[in-house]
């Protein structure tokens, strides 16, 4: 099995990517500082604890495992925190990425898949959003990811270092077998927050913004199953290992769901009430984000296979199972 270094592999998308890599015949080597990831989610390969800003630690891990490629998912991701503390995001996301890229090159590895985001685009100029959409981020999180994209473009242009940039829209859902799922502390993502309300762990779900120019006034997002994202990482990795050129690809379903529609979907899968409170728009939130995924289909052969019902059903079963397990554990 060919080893692949997965930076951030103990996190949400990272752990699902490790699952898919293992199923595809690779051996994922997880490199994570566990600040956002979870040791329990490292199930398909060894865990190496470290910070991507630590070049010496990276060198030691590269020497020990000799990976054929790198998948880079290590980052600070919470938009609100990036507005409050932009320095942390530029240090970790930009500085850490450069440190990892340099360690990758020192090890003689020439293929890297980078986890980026639709937050690099900002407000939509046209919909759906293709790869050539203007990139004008609304917050430091999106700007930090765009800066890494620009760094990778220069590495490709000037030193021939090849990477694939994968811009996620809204990652959602969980492994249908319940082994891993979405687990953030604190939780800030819409689907797990809504599920927590349905489970009685929170009093209400907050809809931020009811006056957007959308079909029901709520913001619209393109929810894509985390295993579909994981499949894209495997395809991008194979594309690079087969000699593919550097490139950027948008990953979404091409279908938009309003926050109100999401709430109704969680009510449906849970069969429980879900009290809602409306609040003003949040700084840094775009009104609509929906992907044009044609390029990923044409070049990588990627297509999403899960719809919103599948996303919500798998997410509900994962979170409900965790709560049931916690309640059954003494202590």
Q: What is the pLDDT of residues 294-325, one digit of tens each?
A: 999 999 999 999 999 999 999 999 999 876 65
Q: What is the pLDDT of residues 246-278, one digit of tens each?
A: 999 999 999 999 999 999 999 999 999 999 999
Mean pLDDT of 154-162: 97
C-beta separation of 103 from 62 below 8 A: yes
Q: Given 141, 155, 168, 212, which residue is catalytic?
A: 141
**DSSP three-state, residue 146:** helix
Beta-carbon contacts of residue 308 (< 8 Å; ≥ 6 apart): 223, 255, 257, 265
**What integer pLDDT is reported at residue 187 of this predicted model?**
79
Question: Distance (Å, rounded) from C-alpha 3 to C-alpha 197?
Answer: 40
**What integer pLDDT is reported at residue 1 of this predicted model?**
87
Does pLDDT of 327 surpass 60?
no
Give bridge partners of residue 274 from the DSSP assignment.
none
Residue keyed to tokens 């996301």:
93
Mean pLDDT of 135-141: 93
Query: Which phi-psi region, left, alpha or beta, contains residue 284 (left: φ > 0; alpha: ψ -120 to 50)?
Result: left
Cβ atoms within 10 A of the Cβ of 3, count?
18
Q: Catalytic site residue 158?
A: no
Q: Is domain 190-221+254-291+299-328 annotated with CATH 3.40.50.300?
A: no
Does pLDDT of 148 surpass 70?
yes
Does pLDDT of 330 surpass 60?
no
What residues does each domain of the chain span?
A: 2-170+224-251, 190-221+254-291+299-328
Mean pLDDT of 212-220: 94
Q: Could you give the C-alpha distances from 76 to 25, 85, 91, 218, 248, in angstroms and in order?
A: 29, 11, 10, 26, 21
Instruction: Tell me the pLDDT band of 203, cut-offs 50, 70 and 90.
Output: very high
Does pLDDT of 328 surpass 50?
no
- For every residue of 162-202, DSSP letters joined together read EEEEEEESEEE---TTSS-----SS---HHHHHHHHHTTSS
Question: Distance (Å, rounded) from C-alpha 147 to C-alpha 211?
Answer: 31
Question: Distance (Å, rounded) from C-alpha 306 to C-alpha 171?
Answer: 12
**What integer pLDDT is reported at residue 326 of this predicted model?**
54
Q: Would the CATH topology of 2-170+224-251 be identical to that of 190-221+254-291+299-328?
A: no
Kindly report the CATH number that applies to the domain delimited by 2-170+224-251.
3.40.50.720
225 alpha carbon, distance to own chain's centre: 10
**What integer pLDDT is reported at residue 188 of this predicted model?**
81
C-beta separation of 191 from 315 below 8 A: yes
Mean pLDDT of 42-63: 97
DSSP assignment letter at 117? E
C-beta separation of 253 from 201 below 8 A: no
**What integer pLDDT is reported at residue 323 of this predicted model?**
66
């Amino acid at each position: 099995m060919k080893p692949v270094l997965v930076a951030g592999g103990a996190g949400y998308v990272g752990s699902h990517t490790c699952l898919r890599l293992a199923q595809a015949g690779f051996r994922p080597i997880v490199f994570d500082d566990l600040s956002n990831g979870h040791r329990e989610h490292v199930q398909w390969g060894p865990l190496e604890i470290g910070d991507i800003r630590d070049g010496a630690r990276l060198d030691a891990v590269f020497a020990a495992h000799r990976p054929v490629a790198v998948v880079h998912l290590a980052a600070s991701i919470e938009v609100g925190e990036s507005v409050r503390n932009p320095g942390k995001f530029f240090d970790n996301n930009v500085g850490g990425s450069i440190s990892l890229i340099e360690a990758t090159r020192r090890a003689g590895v020439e293929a890297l898949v980078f986890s980026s985001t639709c937050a690099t685009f900002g407000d939509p100029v046209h919909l759906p959003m293709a790869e050539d959409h203007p990139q004008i981020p609304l917050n430091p999180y999106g700007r930090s990811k765009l800066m890494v994209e620009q760094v990778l473009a220069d590495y490709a242009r000037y030193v021939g270092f090849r990477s694939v940039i994968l811009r996620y829209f809204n990652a959602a859902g969980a492994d249908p077998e319940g082994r891993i799922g979405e687990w953030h502390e604190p939780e800030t993502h819409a689907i797990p927050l809504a599920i927590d309300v349905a489970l009685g762990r929170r009093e209400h779900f907050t809809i931020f913004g009811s006056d957007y120019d959308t079909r029901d006034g709520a913001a619209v997002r393109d929810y894509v199953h985390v295993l579909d994202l994981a499949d894209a990482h495997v395809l991008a990795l194979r594309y690079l290992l087969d000699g593919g050129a550097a490139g950027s690809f948008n990953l979404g379903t091409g279908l938009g769901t309003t926050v109100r529609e999401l709430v109704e979907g969680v009510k449906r899968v849970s069969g429980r009430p879900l009290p809602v409170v409306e609040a003003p728009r949040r700084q840094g939130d775009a009104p609509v984000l929906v992907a044009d995924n044609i390029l990923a289909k044409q070049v990588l052969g990627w297509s999403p296979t899960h719809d919103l019902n599948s996303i919500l059903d798998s997410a509900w079963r994962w979170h409900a199972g965790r709560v049931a397990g916690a309640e059954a554990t003494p202590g």
